[in-house]
Amino acid sequence: MNFIRSTIFNLLFFAITPLYSLLLIASRPLGFTASWFWARQWSRAVLFLARWCCGIRVEVEGKEHLPDEPCVVMAKHQSALETIAMPSLIPPYVWVLKRSLFYIPVFGWALRLINAIAIEFEHPRKALKSVNEQGMRFLKEGRWVVIFPEGTRSPVGQPAPYKPGGVVLAQKAGVGILPLAHNTGCCWGKRSYIKTPGLVRMRFLPYIPADVVANTSRKELIAQLERDIEQHTRELGG
């Protein structure tokens, strides 16, 4: 049954994603707000399909921790689901992704038009420089920046070491950090065709203000974020 439900979901997902991408591209001349509207609608549509087809429900905790000012979101990375859900959860943002995603027809064009920060993981120094330069510019423009500190999706129970890019950017830009834990991998595994019914809980942890970020050593801050995000991820079953 899960195979049939997942197949229906995947077919619908790959049908609507180019459509919403084209709507985003077409609306881009009207400004970023107009194009972001379609990114958010796509997110909501896919979450609806995930619930209707696969029985995946998404609950969000800790919305009270979202700040009023732009910040760096450092999120656990287990599947594609958190990246899909993000536009419907937080204010307009840019996120750091693999440059190769830009080459996906239509969808990649849409990513480029909403100014995603594309990097090549094979060149870490160049990637960090790009994240800092572009991230600081977008934060000054009022956009949030989403970074997955593990750098890649990690299977449930097998976290990858956290990289310092998000902390470096926050300290250089003088902004705070919003941690995000979740258990998306329990329902939507890494590179998994089959989607498993269940409850996905996404939990925003207490916001770390800009002054605390600035006055805490980089090493200590990374260790704290890794400890807190992984602890809450385990509590959520992820």
What pLDDT tens digit does each residue of the chain (238 aa) get? 889 999 999 999 999 999 999 999 999 999 999 999 999 999 999 999 999 999 999 999 999 999 999 999 999 999 999 999 999 999 999 988 888 888 899 999 999 998 888 887 777 778 778 888 999 999 999 999 999 999 889 999 899 999 999 999 999 999 999 999 999 999 998 888 999 999 999 999 999 999 999 999 999 999 999 999 999 999 999 8
**Cα distance between residue 41 and residue 231, in whole Å:** 32
**Cα distance between residue 134 and residue 192, in whole Å:** 32
Helix (H) or strand (E) segment spanning residue 200: strand 198-204
Q: What is the pLDDT of residue 9?
A: 97
Domain ranges of the chain: 57-235
Residue 56 half-sphere exposure, CB side, CA atoms within 13 Å?
A: 27
Burial class (CB in 10 A: 0-12, 13-18, 19+), 125: exposed
**Cα distance between residue 116 and residue 107, in whole Å:** 12
Q: What is the pLDDT of residue 97?
A: 83
**Cα distance between residue 90 and residue 73, in whole Å:** 9
- Give yes or no for a contact between 196 and 190, defined as CB atoms under 8 angstroms apart: no
Three-state DSSP at 17 gives helix
In terms of CATH, what superfamily is 57-235?
Answer: Glycerol-3-phosphate (1)-acyltransferase (3.40.1130.10)
- List, in order, residues 6 or more apart from 120 with CB less than 8 Å away: 98, 99, 126, 127
Q: What is the pLDDT of residue 88?
A: 95
Q: What is the pLDDT of residue 178?
A: 98
Q: Tokens for 216?
A: 């805490």
**Cα distance between residue 235 and residue 238, in whole Å:** 7
